Structure 1
Amino acid sequence: MKPENLIIGRDTTIKQLLEVNQEAVIEALVKLNKNFSKLRNPFLRKLLARRVSVADACRIANCSISDFFKAMNAIGFQLLDNDRDNGKQDAGAFVLPAPGLIVDLDVRPILDGGKDPLKLIMLKINELAEGEVLRIINTFEPLPLINLLGNKGFGAHTEKPDPGEVHTYFFKNENPQPDHTPKTTPSVEPPDTSLPSFNDLLRQYEGRLKVIDVTMYEMPKPMMTILESLETLENGQALFVHHKKVPVYLLPHLHDKGFNYLIQQEEETKVSLLIYRK
């Protein structure tokens, strides 16, 4: 696809832009704002590009949507005329708590090592005492994490105290929904008794299964591999995953993306996962 064949707006994902011309898009964005240099990191690019929209990216990089559009228009992308604004967002009325109530977690060394800090973040979130706030220190605003924790009753506020440093505060909302999440890992929803059995569903999708094996991978590659496979899943297909454990951090994303799933424990270290569209 050529850039001129893609009409972009604030809801266009960065992944869609990169699929057209990855090198040109990254170079244009880095010239616009050096914060976009994060897209040169393959791990961060995979982690962010598929989930982050133009509007999200502008918020992360602290630049205007109109300037973003100008940069993309300069390399050939067509723009939605009614989808331009200054891209700035009000930080809101967040009040910084007392220092003793702030729990700091610097995830930069973890990401630099190519690992996923989500498990550690969830541990810290679940350990927060009444009135405490978790401050994630990073080089970008973690939009996917903000969305994930928002569904668990947490608010978020982001500040950029220094160039290249982002502080994101997570705090319990005043009227959160009941959260029965265990203190170590996200909860796995109980099986929906209205769904067919695992074997019945296997027969239903016979000849239309896409099979992947992620048992040899370490985090976060299993989750990323599954999400990438779902993006190329054809209509009428289901994804059969060989895994070594129940992927508890993946499951909330599946519902958000419009998928159902069934899990079958084969052995102590072997799990079969069947994912299909709702």
Structure 2
Amino acid sequence: MVQLRELDVRQILRDGGMPFQLIMDTFASLQPGEGVRLQAIFEPRPLIRQLTDRGFDHTARRIADDDWEIDFVPKGTAEEASAPDALWPDPVWNLDLTDLPPPEPMERILARLEMMDSGEVMFALLNREPVFLFNELKERGHEWIGNFDETGKVYRIMIRCTPLEGTNAKT
């Protein structure tokens, strides 16, 4: 399964900003096999052409008049990203960690993941984007998707427990 990084540039665009450099920096930082789920207020056709030339397939979905979601995946993995098993089950755990200061939300999430079965999903609300958590999840072999809510103040993340072989997670 292709891991998609969430990148929401809707507010930047609404404020008249130009998120092109942020988008390019995000793509430059991708690991092999990673893609991006871009949220924008329009279908960015010139950007799509440029990223297609750089080796990415895309799927664009119009959510509303000014709400688009575009998945960019490395060429050759688009079928895998849209496969039925790419759908996630309902979360087993729902955590509201918005009132906790760092690093407590990350510590609680990692501790809960150690008790979860492979394939189970956790949903968490955080008061900021958990950039340090992403590296920890990647090292442990977990999958995640996340983004800010419509207010831009609460970060929502779903994490699928997929422990690496040899870890102490429940099986």
- TM-score relative to the length of structure 1: 0.31
When you count helix as a share of all residues, which structure comes out higher? 1
Q: Structure with the greater relative contact order (CA < 8 A, sep ≥ 6): 1 or 2?
A: 2
Larger Rg: 1
